[in-house]
Amino acid sequence: MNPADGNLAQVRQAAPGVAWLEAPADLAAYAVDGLTPRLAARPHTPRQAAEALAAAAGAGWAVVPWGGGTHMAVGQPRRRLDLALDLRSLHGISEHDRDNLTVTVQAGCTLAALQGALRAARQWLPLEAPDPSRATVGGVLAANTSGPRRLRYGTARDLVLGLEVALPNGELIHPGGKTVKNVAGYDLSRLFIGAWGTLGVLTAATFRLVPLALRSSTVWASFAHPDEAFAFAQALCGSRLGLAAVEVISAPLAGLPPTAGAALWVATLWEGSEAAVRRALREAPTLAQGALALGELTGPAHDALWTALARNGLGQGGPGSPLLRVGAPPSRLAEAWRLLECASFRQVRGGSGLLYAVWPAAEAMPLAAWRAELAQWGGYLALERGPLPLRRAEWVWGPADAAARPMRALKQALDPRGCLNPGLLGEDL
């Protein structure tokens, strides 16, 4: 007899209001890391999400929260999987307070749907994700996804004012609020951002919004040598011109022309008032010492380029190609670029200190040597995406350091039975 059978009824009974799915065909859609759940739930209210989570946690089950499914085959492979908690039916925009520049939205709303609704009020949430029409707000926050414009607007941690979170104990908590300034109590919302659903299940979020820019344009330049390309990027970051983003890439993505002899393309983004953008377009090119070619993009070509850059290297390699994320002090990005010389595609988020690299599927990666080199500069390397055997064999996030101890204590406090995405963030997290 399968010991799970009894549990199945027990879990269903503990949360009778929840719509459960248990047909094999339904469950197959939620398979991840080679594991298929025993049950799936698609709650229609935050309370139902909390009830389903508590029912599973009470039975000692492992739970994987689901959004758009764009970031599932990620992390250290989960050790167990019993319940898939699909948040996509929680997709409403609860409140868009236009004059307050805030929005409260449920976790299952896709980023694209949210942006579409905000655009009508000439506002937007300055958060980007590789696949915004599938990626949900909850997933974007759990993964702490960011895009090129983080340089200007920050990341989720800077934009979230409050959250609604279901905890394994069945409680729905509301850290933060809807004011830009708020120092009441612990800011627990920061803890759930980037936690990959290992501490709680996000059911809603309140964000700070910004007005849509009146004008947005690209200045690009191509270079033969990394030193010149990165000097250009650094010069812009230190200038007062009001740079919104600067990306360095190893291949001319959408709309950028190939240049003979070029090995690096630098794309710079200027957004704001008409006068400010006009000034930047005039002055930015003068800082591009040693450029082989220079140009401007506007309109659809400009939009296509920044949409492509927001993909963070996704889809650049063939199937099974690992995608690496390197974090480094911005001044070390040229060195990080050289360290990953043999990658099939590289993209650097200048000023922010991130490098995404796609590695050829069949080739071995000297991860330990890279990590040792990066650690000397205060950097790190994470295996952003990769096939299951690779994620099983390697340290996805890197070796644990001293900060792992307080992190384990926090995991133990909020998810004492270890039911949320067990193992995804590494041992005990």
Nearer to other proteins, 2 or 376 (CB): 376
Q: To which H or E segment does residue 102 belong?
A: strand 102-106
For residues 41 and 55, what is the distance between their CA atoms, to the nearest angstrom? 11
Give the shortest CB-331-to-other proteins separation in angstroms. 4
Nearest C-alpha neighbor of 199 from the set 50, 427, 396, 421: 421
Q: C-alpha angle 275/276/281, rounded to 5°?
A: 100
Q: How many CB atoms lie within 10 A of CB 273?
A: 12
Considering only residues 121 to 140 of the shown chain, the ones binding other proteins according to CB under 8 A are: 122
Residue 429 touches other proteins, criterion: CB under 8 A = yes
Judged by CB under 8 A, the stretch of 1-9, 107-115, 205-213, 252-260 that binds other proteins is 205-213
Instruction: Name 323's Cβ contacts closer than 8 Å, sequence gap at least 6.
Output: 312, 313, 314, 316, 317, 356, 357, 358, 359, 383, 384, 385, 386
Among 35, 36, 73, 177, binds other proteins (CB under 8 A): 177
Identity of the amino acid at 241: L
The answer to whether residue 251 forms part of the interface with other proteins (CB under 8 A) is: no
| Tokens found for residue 107 | 């976790």
Minimum distance of other proteins from residue 118's CB (angstroms): 13
Residue 155 touches other proteins, criterion: CB under 8 A: yes
Show contacts with other proteins in window 347-406 (CB under 8 A): 351-354, 377-380, 382, 397-398, 401-406
Q: Point out which span in 55-63, 134-142, 176-184, 287-295 binds other proteins (CB under 8 A).
A: 176-184
- Report whether 135 contacts 67 (CB < 8 A): yes
| Strands 201-208 vs 160-166: parallel, antiparallel or unpaired | antiparallel
Shortest Å distance, C-beta 53 to other proteins: 13
Taking CB under 8 A as the binding criterion, the range among 132-140, 239-247, 261-269, 304-312 that sits at the site for other proteins is: 239-247
Pick the closer one to other proteins by CB: 180 or 301.
180
Look-up of token digits 């915004």: 132
Q: How far apart are CA 146 and CA 311, in angstroms?
A: 10
Which string of x and - marks every residue 40-79 that binds other proteins (by CB under 8 A)? ----------------------------------------
Binding-site residue total for other proteins (CB under 8 A)? 86
Distance of closest approach, residue 213 Cβ to other proteins, in angstroms: 9
Is 16 a binding residue for other proteins by CB under 8 A? The answer is no
- Verify binding: residue 257, other proteins, rule CB under 8 A: no
8 A C-beta contact, residue 194 and residue 156: yes
Stretch that binds other proteins, among 58-66, 97-105, 125-133, 248-256 (CB under 8 A): 97-105
What does the alpha-carbon distance between residue 156 and residue 140 come to, in Å, rounded to a whole number? 8
Least separation, in Å, of the C-beta of 410 and other proteins?
5
Site for other proteins in 321-350 (CB under 8 A): 325, 327-331
Distance CA 243, CA 14 (A): 53
User: Which of 36-44, 78-86, 307-315, 411-419 is the region at the interface with other proteins (rule: CB under 8 A)?
Assistant: 411-419
Min dist. Cβ of residue 282 to other proteins (A): 10
179 binds other proteins (CB under 8 A): yes
Binding mask 268-287 for other proteins (x = CB under 8 A): ----xx-xx-xxx-------
Q: Which residue, 158 or 363, is less far from other proteins as judged by CB?
A: 158
Instruction: Report how far Cα 317 is from the mean position of its chain's Cα atoms.
Output: 19
The per-residue DSSP string of 86-98 comes to: E-TT---EEEEEG
Question: Nearest 5°: phi and psi at 358?
Answer: -100, 130
Distance CA 76, CA 392 (A): 6
Provide the β-strand partners of residue 21: 40
Strand duo 293-297 + 354-358: pairing: unpaired
Q: Does 173 bind other proteins (CB under 8 A)?
A: yes
Q: Which of 137, 193, 244, 324 binds other proteins (CB under 8 A)?
A: 193
Q: Using the structure block, give the residue that is written with the tokens 């200045």.
A: 219
